[in-house]
Structure 1
């Protein structure tokens, strides 16, 4: 790689300019004003910017080159997979695939980074999946707040590993044979830039463009376009006051579970009749049907565990979602914005249970089937989720692409909603049966 790319300096760039060979190094036919200023190295003065170098630059190239080496049918399959990625809070879903990647924002490119390794899995070759894995490893390292020398060495190795595979896979699809400035700058200059100026997070335009959107663009759109500056300042001030008050309230009062979208309510004694009637409901998805089928047996087990003998006058409420104490929203609904959404969750196992299950560093995963409130006379309501558990697909290779590779198993339980550690994103392994990746957030 080092032999293939010439490091830029004033002398060799001026030589290309004077010899009219600038096109070979992506140099515009315009004399650089800074070449003639003494004691100034313009190539050291302009630091690489992660958002434009990576999010909107090299990652954009990587996706375009990926499309270039895939056939038409594989591109269609890639778009179908992108549209089929399960929902997750804060993650944009591209329901129609990548119809126009040129219009994607940096934030949308970052959303794609989180899922593309699963999208290209098995589409062409292991190397195609691996280049996305190596990209993510490199990108995560680029976001460190503090770099030690050992971190910089690790970062440079991650860059080189990704770049080597990138060139092998996509060189033929690059008109310039990979001779574009962002690629060169990132490989050969970013580590030295960090040594001189500190972590990339301190000088990326990502921060300020994000602030510009929140504090200028959005308030501007909310204005009536008259006395704009005053209206923008009022909007910002109002948002700040609301945010501060909400924060103060959260600290003052203990957060309780907040249920929304009540779907069903019935007496436990009438549950069998209710479930039988619901079998004819055309709007029910497979997950909710499965939850109804396992409901009574799992509730009996839960009551037995708590030595509850009588469930007379017990009432059941089933909800589409509940806001947890950490403000995350747990969902189990057939239709949320016209698509089903059944959240996957992580549960921290206690020491006694760790010997019974294969876990991911003490954490097990499950899919939510039903969100319920169980009300017994003279008792506090039970806030329960009926879940189906995941297990590792293989004990020999429990991790693929550094992610747990899981399968759903025929084990169902009611768990207390308060025991949920976090909501996780689990993505199906496409074109396989009962294989899932747990995507680290």
Structure 2
């Protein structure tokens, strides 16, 4: 059944689990006789086989990639049938009477989630696992494990958030490169008017030139607190390197262009032998 053997039931993979569940119906079928010894809370062998069969049917439907409304209704009916039988059989063997959040979510909320977000076969649990770790597990470990009321948990969550928050330092400029324009402030207006008519200047630069002097005056007055300045050289660079290694580019050839480091290339199978 398992081509690579099964190392440990606690480390079982999803594929191995599916293989196991396929044969469990036949494993438990006629596994034991009826209750001849009058055992309390006895589970009939027929019901045990049935709960595995219902699980397989429900599980196969859950792996569908496309759901119609009728599919969802059938899926919901099959899920309720399985859940009812599952609770009947295993409720007495659970200290919480099977009151698990994931169990509740699966029975009552998964169908509306599919309607809103599509088939669950494409879901990822990374976000939810991270939130569960940060806002449930860690706060619980910070508590005394006894008085875990809502207020105490909320305080622990706040403490976790405060510990994670770091004082953000403004990113400093390391250097400038690739000088594009240079002019004196007294000649800036005429210089910018000439550049606006340059065919090599794109729309973003034209807007920048149009608003530059007004923004520059505001920067001097409110940021640097300089009321009056007579002589100043204005130099506009095409590239700026930040302290964290990021690069800001203002050149035309980079505007609205894709970053090729973020592009995935799919190779034609017919060309694979050429590389």
TM range, normalised to the smaller chain? 0.3 to 0.5
Bigger radius of gyration, 1 or 2? Answer: 2
Q: Normalising by structure 1, report the TM-score.
A: 0.25
Higher helix share: 2
Higher strand share: 1
